[in-house]
Amino acid sequence: EVQVVESGGGLVKPGGSLRLSCAASGFTFSIYNMNWVRQAPGRGLEWVSSISSSSSYIYYADSVKGRFTISRDNAKNSLYLQMNSLRAEDTAVYYCARGGTAMVFYMDVWGKGTAVTASS
């Protein structure tokens, strides 16, 4: 079964750090681009970051640039999101989503999400 499963969410104080992980299975992880998308409570979807299959291309939303770092380990079939200097407005469910191959970044496989709460 093709799936991605997020982990690492939790409660963190503003200014703190958190590292999200996404474990992929059922497909050849190394040939797919990968994405992080978040959804604040009661709000719409917000694209956060994307990474190409070989990590050659990395993109960030302005709202997280300089604070978040996306990375992947193709040997471990895993995607990561290092989140530093967290703010209250980063509170959201974070979804890992598989992208396409080549330089295509639609999202065809989604995890159930992991909740991040930045609050004192």
Partner 1 sequence: EIVLTQSPGTLSLSPGERATLSCRASQSVSNSYLAWYQQKPGQAPRLLIYGASSRATGIPDRFSGSGSGTDFTLTISRLEPEDFAVYYCQQYGSSPFTFGPGTKVDIK
Interaction site with partner 1 (CB under 8 A): 35, 37, 44-47, 50, 59-62, 95, 100, 104-108, 110-113
Q: How far is 9 from 58, CA to CA, in rounded Å?
A: 22
Give least dist CB 24 to partner 1, A: 15
Query: Cβ closer to partner 1: 14 or 113?
Result: 113
Q: Identify whether the C-beta of residue 42 lies closer than 8 Å to the C-beta of residue 50.
A: no
**Choice between 66 and 120, CB closer to partner 1:** 66
Indicate the DSSP class of residue 90. G
The strand pairing partners of 22, in sequence order, are 6, 79
Q: State which residue, 83 or 97, has the beta carbon closest to partner 1.
A: 97
CB of 68 to partner 1, least distance (A): 13
Q: Which residue, 49, 48, 52, is CA-closest to 30?
A: 52
For the bound state, the minimum distance from the C-beta of residue 19 to partner 1, rounded and expressed in Å, comes to 21
Toward partner 1, which CB reaches closer, 3 or 71?
3
Q: How far apart are CA 113 and CA 67, in angstroms?
A: 20
Taking the complex as a whole, how short is the minimal distance between the CB of residue 81 and partner 1, in angstroms?
15
Beta bridge partners of 114: 94
The residues with which 18 forms a beta bridge, in sequence order, are 83
